Amino acid sequence: MALTVIILLAVIAVAAADSVPSYRAPAPSYHAPAPAGPAQYNFNYAVKDDYSGNDFGHAEGRNGYDTQGSYYAQLPDGRLQKVDYVVKGDSGYLAQVSYQGEAQYPKYQHSQGYQPAPKVGYA
């Protein structure tokens, strides 16, 4: 009798395994949006912090394949470096670099350096 029950359970398990549908993941699909046309944008930013000496900025505009812009930065020697650039189609990046001011190299003041604190002795 036990053997009959085991065989019956095995037959039921095989039949149930065939009737359960296996999971299949859906096919991946991605439809990229069509470009709306050539890029067009304008942006700019600037930072000027007198405490730290930071002074820099950037501005750029693009219309289709033509881009123009400029950026500037305060250099450590005191000059302001400005770069004006244009890109027209496949012509490449054409830049005009200019400097305002004169380089300053202050005389270095040598400090005495580390001096250990005097030892306090108790008698």
What's the pLDDT at 74?
Answer: 93
What is the pLDDT averaged over residues 95-115? 87
pTM for the predicted model, two decimal places: 0.57
- The tens digit of pLDDT for each residue in 22-68 reads 778 888 887 777 767 788 999 999 999 988 888 999 999 999 889 99
Top pLDDT among 10 and 45 is at 45
Top pLDDT among 93 and 2 is at 93
What is the pLDDT averaged over residues 89-110? 88
Q: Note whether 106 and 100 are within 8 A (CB).
A: no
75-82: long-range contacts (C-beta < 8 A, 24 or more apart)? 75/103, 77/103, 77/104, 77/105, 78/102, 78/103, 78/104, 79/103, 80/55
117 confidence band (pLDDT: 50, 70, 90): confident
* Gap between the Cα atoms of 55 and 82, Å rounded: 11
What's the pLDDT at 6?
Answer: 82
Q: Is the pLDDT of residue 89 over 60?
A: yes
